[in-house]
Chains A and B, each alone.
Chain A
């Protein structure tokens, strides 16, 4: 179209084809690098004990799907770990979404003394790394007799300054006119919030719910401190404890790991867009 373009020759086509092939090949290598540990995990989890430790064959000679049943029944209190974690994660997500929606609405749409100062304090708490509050919270939870209690794993994490911040930004982008119109019609704040704001804010709610779920499902350090009884452990602590036990069989451990990552991978497959956009937005906005 410009003066610089010249007719496309066969050589050009060949060059383009070559370039494209190289780029696809490189992308494929990258994808294999990202995926091979998962493949190795699943393959090992299906082998017999001797075969798993021999590494002579890549594929199992006999595919022992029964390893999964055995892992479920013998890796520590695995069913308990799984249900504990699911329960804790769901409660935490519900808690974060409810408390954050209410607070974010007040910060975005209501007028009250001290609003800006209170919001700034919230923002400041996001700068404090989790390690600082670790010991004080441990002592507090101990004194509340919450050790080995679900409350210790749910309540401290069921409000999030970050989610409030994210939702407030979103709520602010909802046009003021919509709000004024609803108010003139005699709509209360609470009704306006739940019948108009919340449905409109699905992306922000999904993003903050998703990242809360992930953080809860994957958390380790806090759970290590506040759980002693094996049956109270969440999945990550349970698996970490099981590695150290004598006579651990790798194929069973890896079957357990596979089961433990399935919920996260399923969630990822369903909500992939929100995962990646969430990271990109959060990342860029700091």
Chain B
């Protein structure tokens, strides 16, 4: 009967589905999936629906009162939610250009065929990403210490006034202008120095991750392409510009999406560095309050369970949008 189907058409049936009798149903399979499924259902599936319920209620735990869409109105209609969203994207904007360009730069250097000890360099670059964020944030908070920190020691050595780093709420634009004696409009104040300091930490931490991802992307580029381009007379920069960069576009895109999602969820290092600098959560003056930090503050400090959950749901919708966008674009870019 095989003759009746045209050969050109790709069969939707899996390759191993040979004309063999259909495998019988194995009811024991449910026992195999049971332990995992119970835990995931109880702690990861049902809570999603419960979260929606909580976000529509207010009051203390176990005494919830219907609140309707009040929490969502408060978030979307007020200033705080939008401010923390702006802080989040500012933070992403301060971090990402550096991690991506440095990540690509070092990955490309490591990718050069003559480089020995590639594994060792890669291991060193990746180390900051592996070590727990709380620990490394404590170290960086110490580096940024206004009195005894390494950062201010460096500034003093090159003859610049020491800064207050993690406790400085003023914008970097404002600080530069003040130093130079300029007057600048309020919109040019820029992100707070505290947020910049936290971004420097993030650049340090995330660079190794980007290097590893870019290195994997580089290894996937067929070497024939380089050979062909070399025969055509291309070399150095033009190889990088016309072969490497375009072929790394999907990798770069992936790194961007992952970084934005990471910024939206960033918490551990901000919490720890705020704490180490004796600032309230998201401080100084709320200038480091990214979305997840804001959510946790509402939950932990203010016990606003309904409102915190509403923010978490909004956060998840933003992340979902980025994830779907990622799938869509990457799906389209798989074939060149």
- Please give the residue numbers on chain A whose beta carbons come within 8 Å of chain B beta carbons, in ascending order: 2, 4, 20, 23-24, 26-27, 30-31, 33-35, 37-38, 40-41, 44, 52-55, 98-100, 102-103, 105-107, 110-113, 115, 118, 121-122, 125, 127-137, 139-140, 142-143, 155-156, 158-159, 161, 164, 176, 189, 214, 217-218, 220-221, 224-225, 236, 239-240, 243-244, 250, 253-254, 257, 260-261, 264-265, 268, 272, 275-276, 279-280, 283-284, 286
Check A111–B24 contact: CB distance below 8 A: yes
Identity of the chain B residue whose Cβ is nearest the Cβ of A102 in the assembled complex: B32
- A176 in contact with B16 given A129-B315, A132-B51, A159-B35 (CB within 8 Å): yes
Give Cα distance in the complex from A227 to B29, angstroms: 37
Check A110–B138 contact: CB distance below 8 A: no
Identity of the chain B residue whose Cβ is nearest the Cβ of A163 in the assembled complex: B36
Give Cα distance in the complex from A155 to B121, angstroms: 38
Check B130–A41 contact: CB distance below 8 A: no
12 A-B pairs with C-beta separation under 8 A:
A27-B121, A37-B136, A37-B139, A128-B44, A136-B50, A161-B44, A218-B133, A220-B268, A253-B138, A272-B119, A279-B126, A283-B216
List residues of chain A with CB within 8 A of the CB of B134. Answer: 218, 220, 236, 239-240, 260
Check B300–A224 contact: CB distance below 8 A: yes
Quote the shortest CB–CB distance from B146 to chain A (angstroms): 12
Q: In chain B between 251 and 308, which residues have their CB closer than 8 angstroms to a CB of chain A?
A: 251, 254, 258, 265, 267-268, 271-272, 275-276, 278, 292, 295-296, 299-300, 305, 308
Give Cα distance in the complex from A33 to B309, angstroms: 39
Give Cα distance in the complex from A240 to B138, angstroms: 8
Check B47–A136 contact: CB distance below 8 A: yes
- Of the candidates A23, A132, A276, which one forms a contact with B115 in the assembled complex, judged by CB atoms under 8 Å apart? A23
Chain A contact residues, majority secondary structure: helix
- Of the candidates B133, B138, B327, which one forms a contact with A286 in the assembled complex, judged by CB atoms under 8 Å apart? B327
How many chain B residues have a CB neighbour from A under 8 Å?
106
List residues of chain A with CB within 8 A of the CB of B40. Answer: 122, 125, 159, 161
Check B51–A156 contact: CB distance below 8 A: no
Check B47–A275 contact: CB distance below 8 A: no
- A27 in contact with B316 given A103-B36, A133-B47 (CB within 8 Å): no
- Of the candidates B16, B37, B61, B125, which one forms a contact with A34 in the assembled complex, judged by CB atoms under 8 Å apart? B125
Give Cα distance in the complex from A30 to B128, angstroms: 12
- A131 in contact with B25 given A156-B39, A264-B132 (CB within 8 Å): no
Check A37–B326 contact: CB distance below 8 A: no
- A37 in contact with B23 given A99-B35, A136-B47, A164-B36 (CB within 8 Å): no
- Of the candidates A44, A115, A134, A260, which one forms a contact with B312 in the assembled complex, judged by CB atoms under 8 Å apart? A134
List residues of chain B with CB within 8 A of the CB of A140. Answer: 42-43, 47, 50
Check B130–A264 contact: CB distance below 8 A: yes
List residues of chain B with CB within 8 A of the CB of A189. Answer: 26, 28, 32
Most buried by A among B22, B27, B131, B143: B131
Check B33–A239 contact: CB distance below 8 A: no
List residues of chain B with CB within 8 A of the CB of A107. Answer: 33
Extra contacts, 11 of them, besides A106-B30, A127-B320, A159-B38 (Cβ < 8 A), are A99-B39, A121-B45, A131-B295, A135-B299, A139-B305, A214-B130, A220-B134, A240-B275, A244-B278, A265-B127, A280-B216
Check B54–A276 contact: CB distance below 8 A: no
Check A137–B130 contact: CB distance below 8 A: no
